[in-house]
Structure 1
């Protein structure tokens, strides 16, 4: 039986191979639009996330079940089966100036 650590090591090696080969070839032909990509909260986003990024995660604490705390999988326990998924758009973000900056940011 293959251990979980061995599987993660295999994925890590394959990710390095992928970055050095496949990704490098793509970037030579089509560079990324920016040097870094950030979430709206300012956290840097990686190009790819693998199981290695969540190896220390606690499933029940960090992800949980739909309709249950911490609600990372949605508010409804049956997810979209009972109610169709909706996009909850908003208009306004703090002051008028902050709203203007936010909308311009979202358009970029």
Structure 2
């Protein structure tokens, strides 16, 4: 004889709407804040509904783009961010919230 199956996980969170659409996003960022912003705005215009920002390795580890240990890694696998102006450029024209 088999045991009765447990209730589905979704039932454990009744406040979440089953009818709500999924958030569609890509994990992206490259070369510069301005280029990444251009990519994000293009994707949002095509129906993407969220952003997942890929930061470059120096940004993730707290190094400025001009630091010796950042050499060769800036913008390589994500967007480089060194100051608040870079963040403003990254999200320029994109509604947040």
Higher helix share: 1
Higher strand share: 2
Which TM bucket (shorter chain)? under 0.3
TM-score, normalised to structure 1, is: 0.23
